[in-house]
Amino acid sequence: MRFIAFVFVLLLPLSVQSADALIVPLFTPKPVYPPALIRSRYTGKVRVQLVVSSGGNVQDVRAIESGHPQLTEAAVGALAQWRYRPWAGTVGAPPQISIMIPVIFGSHGNRHFNQEVDVGLSNIRCAYLNNEVDTQNRDFPEEPLNKVDVFWYTGQFLFSSYAALLRSEDERKVLLEQLGRLVPEIVKSCRLNPQHRYGDYLPVSIKSLLSGLAQSDDVPGALQGAL
């Protein structure tokens, strides 16, 4: 029995890879669209890198890509306040996790201005994806659709250090191939449903891994006491 128990303990560190998500959001305030940029109808994107500690707090936040300093300030200021369910003590989990989160100011892109701010890959509106596809087809007609930023960011995520905690390299290669096959279908679906979200058309196998990397207005009831 002691030998069996010892083997079980040795296997525990691998249990993290069986989970759909290690980070569970508790508090995710959304960035506020800068009023001056609303007046000028300025749309843009900020890619924010968060370093989250095992206590659930954001240790570091920085903009990796941004179209405007006011958008940077709004995105970084809001995401610095995000809180996650602590995972300290979880066997096999690291003391901190680095994640990348896109923030879209003007969810429909340049063509149809609005004041909506979308945070997280799965939350991106199909209208925004449609705009990206049109831009690539116009400027780089020879490029494959999987080079469109939204799809490229998804592929990057699948080979991020965070995704590596949850799935093996072989499993993530399969998911990347699955995404590649679905790109034309996702583009077609988004054309028909511009108000839908990109995540609506992702397979569950990918969308579930993205669950902790998006803003949510709904905090699970069981977690509210942790705020």
Each residue's pLDDT, cut to its tens digit, for the chain (227 residues) gives 433 333 333 333 434 554 567 899 999 999 999 999 999 999 999 999 999 999 999 999 999 999 899 999 999 999 999 999 999 888 888 999 999 999 999 998 777 889 999 999 999 999 999 999 999 999 999 999 999 999 999 999 999 999 999 999 999 999 999 999 999 999 999 999 999 999 999 999 999 999 888 887 765 443 444 45
User: Is residue 72, in this structure, part of any structural domain at all?
Assistant: yes
User: Is residue 9, in this structure, part of any structural domain at all?
Assistant: no
User: Is residue 227, in this structure, part of any structural domain at all?
Assistant: no
d(CA 72, CA 69): 5
**Which residues are within 8 A (CB) of 158 and not within 5 positions of it... i.e. 6 or more apart?**
172, 175, 176, 179, 206, 209
User: Is residue 220, in this structure, part of any structural domain at all?
Assistant: no
User: Is residue 144, in this structure, part of any structural domain at all?
Assistant: yes
What CATH number did the domain enclosing 45 receive? 3.30.2420.10
User: Is residue 12, in this structure, part of any structural domain at all?
Assistant: no
What is the number of domains present in the chain?
Answer: 1
User: Is residue 82, in this structure, part of any structural domain at all?
Assistant: yes
Helices (H), 47-168: 69-79, 126-139, 149-158, 161-166
Count the neighbouring beta carbons within 10 Å of the beta carbon of residue 36.
10
User: Is residue 219, in this structure, part of any structural domain at all?
Assistant: no
Range of the domain at 102: 19-212
